[in-house]
Structure 1
Amino acid sequence: MSYSLRNYQKELIRNIINSMKKGHKKIMVQSPPRSGKTVVMAHIAKSATDQGKQVLFFSHRKEINEQVAETFIRGGVNISQVVIGTVGSLVRKLESLPPPDLILVDEAHHIKAKQYQTILKFFDKAIQLFFTGTPIRLDGAGFHDLADDLVVGKSIQWLQKHGNIAEFDYYSVNLLDMAKLKKRSGEFTNGSVDAALDFNTEYGDYLDHYERLAKGKQAIVYTHSVEYAERVAKRFSEHGYKSAVVSGKTPRNEREGAMRAFREGRLMIMVNVNLFTEGIDLPGVDVCIMLRPTASLSLYLQFAMRALNPREGKRAILIDHVGNHLRHGLPNDDREWTLDGTKKKKKESEKSPVTCERCFATFWRERLKDGHCPYCGNEVVKKKEIEELERPQSNVELQKINQDMEFINIRGESVEVTRAEAIVFHRVERYGKQYKRCKNLAELKAFRIIHGYAPGWLWHKQKELNIWRN
């Protein structure tokens, strides 16, 4: 049984064919996560096998390959003329493989890796199609040295507008001390994420935010380590939400059982460590909770898009506890893709993201309604307005602030601040340990930083003092 392709998928295939007609043999194909790349590949593979051609498909995960094999069979591909395998398994038996006429690679932003290159160079006479949602490496490098052409699919915004990807509400409730993050090979280390999340404290309750924003909805939670994942799953389970942890270390039968239970709705919370990020369909997920910071745009979009399978009346909920949107923008930002990498389209100021201090909804500035949050109606105060409200009271204070307006010394560290923030810091320093003297959110934030409290402290004191505005 062949699939019925959507119009934008047919357009993508036509553009790939046109590129091949121009003589290109190594083509990068960009299409967002959840846009149906596997179905497109199945159609292309069927066309090839119908003509008696040999096809090779590979990716870096067996879970992706298993799903691709099922999709190819349902799509009418002559599977006897197709080899499907992981990179690691194929690279050891290249001599024994039938020479392919067509190579399909999924999650192809990985193709610069050594084993990928070994396979692609061994079969360099084949047409090679590299499918990915993000044609960019962690270091920002592109693929002009490996691909002859780039075919770009529809954007996430276009797919949302036409009902192919679900709309979402994005909430940014940061629980992370970002100053503690450290990178190795371009990505944040697990040890630094432990430190940044303040591993031994319960400040910043992700469970509380789930219950407030998405209670009763199936959620997938992304974490950085098995230890932290088990802690998260335990807390959810203790509060009545049936949860499971899955990772690369989970035995296959346990992982498959968890996936089956999740798909059937018998499991409410799936906490995962570096798994189910690429190419795996979990259609019942309505909520994504990010407890893992990442420097990778590709990984971030895989996290965020996991909950965006469309359904009538569905509006997904994305809860970002680690500031990923500060690094990468909102998931449906416009991005300009090239083989040299990517650069975000420069937005006018009204397109910049805004986070409401009361409800933590994060949205583009253009959605403000007369300066108020479109979700809760809270007035969103700009820094310029804060500066006008927080003028110093004397010439002596003004002189001190002007001297310190770029850097303030906090606990022996120089912290870069704006002039308006410097005014607030100097005032709050006079409060000593009396946090109840804070009159607004700006003062409460400064108090937390001055005294070195964990990020979650702010959330609890906001609730205690009922402070939600600057």
Structure 2
Amino acid sequence: MKLRDYQEELVESIKSSFLKGNRSIIVQSPPRSGKTVVMADISKGATDKKNHVLFFSHRKEINDQVVKTFELNQVNMEYVTIGSVQSLVRKIDELPPPEIILVDEAHHIKANSYKKILEAFPNALKLFFTGTPIRLNGQGFEDMADDLITGKSIKWLQEHGNIAPFKYYAPNIIDTSQLKKTSGDFTQKSMDEAFKRAIYGDVIAHYNKLSKDKQAICYAHNVATAQHISEEFNQAGITAEVVHGKTPKSERVAIMNKFRAGDILVLINVELFTEGVDLPDVTTCIMLRPTQSLSLFLQFAMRPLNPKTGKTAILIDHVGNYTRHGLPNEDREWMLSGISKKRSEYNTKGELTIKQCEICFGCFDSSNTRVCPYCGHEPGLTERELENIKEIELQEIIEAKVQKLKTRVSTYISPDMCESVDELVEFKNQHNYKNGWVFQQQKLRGWL
């Protein structure tokens, strides 16, 4: 397979870095940009010279696809070892010493199992491929790599027809103040509490409205939610199946074959198919899983962006992930040092105890009452409360408007300069406040 121009450029940059004496290199290139093809080209050059290549990742699906791509590109597999981190770490002493080590989805390389394999071959040239060279805690990879090579941006790839354009739909404002974190991302319990019955009806309605009869992949935060959503889809006459980490291998393969054949319209999954798996006919991504991880968010959002004539992907974000990460094609500056997560000079003392209603998603001070003031159980919903629920209707998020808002709010010296809820949310994001701060500000201004 002939490399695209931007892929050739990436290979040349890698060679140039090696010639400068760098032995461990982070290679950043967005999801769907063809990193596996680039690795195949590098591996073919190495194996043609009878140099051994070691490739590993954390998922079997990624490894299986790499084998297919390498074989298609005539890589001499006699000189290639491909395996999962879990399997290779148990047999390091049996592996042939590689001249080149390739790691996909390499934002995981700080894990001990990865380090153990990498440290076993100190003389190998190491290439770490990832779309997001950053950790959840903001740390970079200065301790793991000598150089960082950045590929073309998502926006550039879209403008040149290498990635499909998309429309992005999300709640204009969503308060996630109930969500709690551990190890950098939201906890399972807090996601269970924050996202319950109300969202389920919305999922079916918005799929039918925005992406009817198109193949979709849906990301849920737990198995119970995934199974419930699947039942809702199937009851609505929309074929859907669930896959998750404990789905038996034979069953998972059968479901994937049905999905690729078009016999399943919606594939609902938990922590699977976020990285490295090619699903070219998927048009739509449905996000029901909130995440603080930029890497995970981009994997979600980029899944349906394989280019196809006349295709416009549909991204349906029911959990407001874009408010944390921006739109997928937002320009980002990558550095080996990572990013700083310093708190703003403004503090968040005096925040209310915020609860989010599981029925209508209304947010309220729960220190004095457990009853939702917007949709309370008795009496029934009033006309005004019904209007509040209608505000959950997803809206198209326009890139130009998002950027204009970011630029405008970046000039604000203090919160009192914000004139709308949108501006408050953006101010909160830019200053790393907690989600409840927006609600507090609205109460202080008499907006609620």
Change (3 A) 1:175 1:208: farther
Deviations 1:275-322 (A, max 9, x none): 000000001100000000011000000000001000001100001111
Q: Which residue of 1 aligns with 2:446?
A: 423
Matched, 1:298 2:324: no
Describe the superposition over 1:29-49 as per-residue Cα deviations: whole angstroms up to 9, x where unpaired. 000000000000000000000
Q: Distance in 2 between matches of 1:259 and 1:385?
A: 45
CA drift of 1:343 comes to 7.3
Distance in structure 1 (CA, Å) of the matches to 2:392 and 2:318: 14
Give, in whole Å, the separation in 1 of the partners of 2:123 and 2:109. Answer: 17
Change beyond 3 A, Cα 1:414–1:234: closer
Check whether the contact 2:40–2:75 (CA below 8 A) recurs between aligned residues: yes
Matched, 1:278 2:301: no
Describe how 1:403-414 pairs up with structure 2 within 5 A: none
**CA distance 1:308–1:15, shift in 2 (3 Å):** same
Pairwise CA RMSD of aligned residues? Answer: 2.5
User: Tell me, which stretches of 5 or more residues in structure 1 are unaligned?
Assistant: 345-355, 370-381, 387-409, 426-470
The separation in 1 between residues aligned to 2:313 and 2:218, in whole angstroms, is 14
Question: Cα distance 1:343–1:337, how it changes in 2: closer, same or farther (>3 A)?
Answer: farther
1:216 CA drift (Å): 1.0
Q: Tell me: CA distance 1:227–1:41, structure 2 relative to 1, closer, same or farther (3 Å).
A: same
Aligned to 1:143: 141
Distance in 1, matches of 2:199 and 2:131, equals 36
Aligned 8 A contact 1:27 1:128 in 2 = yes
Give how far 1:364 is off: 2.5
Query: Paired residue for 2:127?
Result: 129
**1:139–1:249: structure 2 CA closer, same or farther, 3 Å change rule?**
same
For 1:265, the equivalent position in structure 2 comes to 262
Is the CA contact (8 Å cut-off) linking 2:204 and 2:233 kept in structure 1? Answer: yes
Provide the secondary structure at the position in 2 that maps to 1:68.
helix
Question: Which amino acid in structure 2 is aligned with residue 107 of structure 1?
Answer: E
- C-alpha displacement of 1:259: 1.1
Distance 1:424 1:415, change over 3 A: closer
> Would you identify which runs of 4 or more consecutive aligned residues in structure 1 move more than 3 Å?
174-177, 200-204, 356-359, 365-369, 382-386
Map residues 343-382 of structure 1 onto 2, 5 A cutoff.
360-366=395-401
C-alpha deviation, 1:177, in angstroms = 5.1
Query: What does the per-residue CA deviation read over 1:79-137, in whole Å, with 9 as the maximum and x for residues that have no partner?
Result: 01100000110011111110000000000000000010000001011000000000001
For residues 21-420 of structure 1, what are the structure 2 equivalents within 5 Å?
21-173=19-171, 178-197=176-195, 199-201=196-198, 205-342=202-339, 360-366=395-401, 384=419, 415-418=439-442
Equivalent residue number for residue 395 of structure 1 = none
Distance 1:244 1:118 in 2: 37
Which whole-Å CA distance do the structure 2 matches of 1:201 and 1:134 have between them?
33
Residue 309 of structure 1: SS of its match in structure 2?
coil
For the 8 Å contact 1:175–1:322, the answer to whether it is kept is no
Cα gap change, 1:11/1:342 in structure 2, threshold over 3 Å: closer, same or farther? farther
In structure 1, distance between residues paired with 2:186 and 2:90:
31
Give the number of the structure whose alpha-carbon radius of gyration is greater.
1
Aligned to 1:400: none
Give the Cα–Cα distance (whole angstroms) in 2 for the partners of residues 304 and 250 of structure 1. 24
Other structure's SS at 1:147 match: coil
Please tell me whether residue 8 in structure 1 is matched to residue 32 in structure 2: no
